[in-house]
Structure 1
Amino acid sequence: MPKEALFDEPLRIAHTLLSERAGDGPHGEDPNDPATVQAMQIALHIPKQDAPRRTDVLEAAARAVVKLCLDERVATDPEFRAALERWYGHLIRKVARRARNTAWVKVQDLTGVTVDDDGAQVRAFLPSAVSEVPADIRKLQISGTELPLDHPNDISDDAPVIYVDGSLDMTLGKAAAQVGHASMLLAAHQSYEWVAAWAQADFALHVREVSTAEFAEFLAAPGAVPVRDGGFTEVAPNTVTVVAIP
């Protein structure tokens, strides 16, 4: 068997699962059954000194989420696959938290994927019921995670772009969850061949926060993949928060 096939088959299996189970719905949960309230936890490494740029953190978050969803362990580890299936079958929540110092080091031992993007580090963890989040993750702070807006360079390649509606003034944690959702939905909506090429590029992408007018233009672009938020935090239900352009 060619070496490429050994690499491709796990990716194909993971992509098929993502496409079939995590598309546009239907999804739901029963508040009376904690096992149905599933979430992916995301740790943003925000040290006090030499903090990363907001844009770099968002790009790392988006890449970490899609890399976890398309990880080869979907094909080789039944528990890994089952955890994703449970999450895909419900509301696909994400919770972003701040980590630094030893707390960041400790969570590297928990099942997930870490991405380092221009010095910004983010780890996406295997989803679980929110009632079963590991203690080392539960200790990480959810609120108060913020970085100032920055001014990234112009985009000079053809990597996918995730545009954020800047008028929503989402916190860093909220925006990280949204771009993470966009990256996985983007993969779910593309062909396997497209995703395989993206994987070869290590899931390179860009994130840009734009005005309402610009956002509306991108939303109308051919192939656009929008994210409609559930409205649990910060924005109203069904608000389109971000849009991915392949």
Structure 2
Amino acid sequence: MEGIFSCPLGWAVVSPDPTPLADSPFRSEPSARDQAPQYVLPLVVRIERAEPPERTDALETAARAVLRMLDDERSAGDGVWAQAVRDWQDARIRKVVRRARGAEWRRAEALPGITVTGTSAEVRVFPPVPLDGWPKELVKLQVSGTDLDDPRPPAEAAPGTPVLWFNPEVPMSAGKAMAQAGHGAQLAWWELSDEERRAWRDAGFPLAVRTADPLRWRELTRSGMPLVRDAGFTEIAPGSCTVIAEHPALR
């Protein structure tokens, strides 16, 4: 579903250097990235029957999990995850969210990765794996039908908090939205300087996920903030603009 404010004509990932735009990991058009081996960043959200997490908290926790993976020393230099992260970022940037409970969650926690806890949500992120090379402990976890609710509308984000704004006219399942929140956080991370990244990390990666109203979305699309334009592998049409990352340092 796309409306009048869904995606400005010709919009792509914001960058001061126009060269990367033609080969952005989020563009829907074919690019050189499609020729590279394809990797995916697995995320698993814990959803127990009796106490499922709240939707907004799950989205925010997933976004912080992606930031924790990008910032982890094992993902850089000669770290044990570094080559997998480089291979993943050289191809299309894919994230897949699956759900687990009980013994499934305990098996997932035993694998190398990072667990991030929110107010009600737990999300574990794992180093990237080949598209068809998921660990056996994760491959059977469900990916479709992951839907969550908020018991009440989320409060307004605190002043100065980075906000991942969702397009009000592109509905998504909770699993898809968690992946999109991760995309938005990753774009903001790429745009920040090393000093700005350190400040965000030292503060604990505060962020909020909110859905913009149509007027606010239109303003945001003109702001120059990083914007996710989804490749359309699942659920939504290729080229749909889904999230704008409004980080105070990027204003």
TM-score, normalised with respect to structure 2 = 0.82
Higher-RCO chain (CA-CA 8 Å, sequence separation at least 6): 2
Please give the residue correspondences for 1:121-140 in structure 2 after superposition, counting only pairs within 5 Å.
121-140=122-141
Which residue is equivalent to 1:38? 39
Shift in CA distance, 26/162, structure 1 to aligned 2, threshold 3 Å: closer
Match of 2:185 among 179, 183, 186: 183
Aligned: 1:152 with 2:157: no
Please say if residues 73 and 79 of structure 2, whose CA atoms lie closer than 8 Å, have aligned partners that are also in contact.
no
Q: What's the secondary structure of 1:95's corresponding residue?
A: strand
User: What is the deviation of 1:102?
Assistant: 1.2
Structure with more helix by fraction = 1
User: What is the deviation of 1:218?
Assistant: 2.1
Which residue is equivalent to 1:169? 171
Q: What's the secondary structure of 1:86's corresponding residue?
A: helix
What 5-or-longer segments of structure 2 have no aligned partner? 1-19, 26-32
Aligned: 1:93 with 2:81: no
Q: Give the number of equivalent residue pairs.
A: 220
For 1:196, give the aligned amino acid: R
Q: What's the secondary structure of 2:182's corresponding residue?
A: helix
User: What is the deviation of 1:245?
Assistant: 0.3
Q: What's the secondary structure of 1:168's corresponding residue?
A: coil
User: What is the deviation of 1:190?
Assistant: 1.0
For 1:65, give the aligned amino acid: V
TM-score, normalised with respect to structure 1 = 0.84
Q: Distance in 2 between matches of 1:243 and 1:26?
A: 16
Q: Distance in 2 between matches of 1:77 and 1:123?
A: 23
Which residue is equivalent to 1:29? 34
Q: Distance in 1 between matches of 2:107 and 2:78?
A: 23
Q: Distance in 2 between matches of 1:128 and 1:156?
A: 36
Of the structure 1 ranges 107-116 and 150-159, higher mean CA displacement relative to structure 2 is found in 150-159
Q: What's the secondary structure of 1:166's corresponding residue?
A: coil
Please say if residues 227 and 243 of structure 1, whose CA atoms lie closer than 8 Å, have aligned partners that are also in contact.
yes
| 1:185-209 per-position Cα deviation (integer Å, ceiling 9, x unaligned) | 1010011111110000111100002
Please say if residues 63 and 180 of structure 1, whose CA atoms lie closer than 8 Å, have aligned partners that are also in contact.
yes
For 1:172, give the aligned amino acid: A
State percent identity of aligned pairs.
Answer: 37
Q: What's the secondary structure of 2:49's corresponding residue?
A: coil
Match of 2:205 among 188, 203, 206: 203
Which residue is equivalent to 1:11? none
Q: Distance in 1 between matches of 2:73 and 2:148?
A: 33
What 5-or-longer segments of structure 1 have no aligned partner? 1-22
Please say if residues 167 and 211 of structure 1, whose CA atoms lie closer than 8 Å, have aligned partners that are also in contact.
no
Q: What's the secondary structure of 1:36's corresponding residue?
A: coil
User: What is the deviation of 1:76?
Assistant: 6.3
Which residue is equivalent to 2:28? none
User: What is the deviation of 1:159?
Assistant: 1.8
Which residue is equivalent to 1:226? 227
User: What is the deviation of 1:142?
Assistant: 0.3
Q: What's the secondary structure of 2:103's corresponding residue?
A: helix
Which residue is equivalent to 2:5? none
Q: What's the secondary structure of 1:167's corresponding residue?
A: coil
Q: Distance in 1 between matches of 2:245 and 2:113?
A: 23
Please say if residues 44 and 96 of structure 1, whose CA atoms lie closer than 8 Å, have aligned partners that are also in contact.
yes
Of the structure 1 ranges 72-81 and 127-136, higher mean CA displacement relative to structure 2 is found in 72-81
Q: Distance in 2 between matches of 1:239 and 1:231?
A: 7
| 1:53-75 per-position Cα deviation (integer Å, ceiling 9, x unaligned) | 10000000000011101101124
Q: Distance in 1 between matches of 2:73 and 2:178?
A: 23
User: What is the deviation of 1:128?
Assistant: 1.0
Of the structure 1 ranges 94-103 and 146-155, higher mean CA displacement relative to structure 2 is found in 146-155
Which residue is equivalent to 2:68? 67
Shift in CA distance, 77/48, structure 1 to aligned 2, threshold 3 Å: farther
User: What is the deviation of 1:83?
Assistant: 0.3
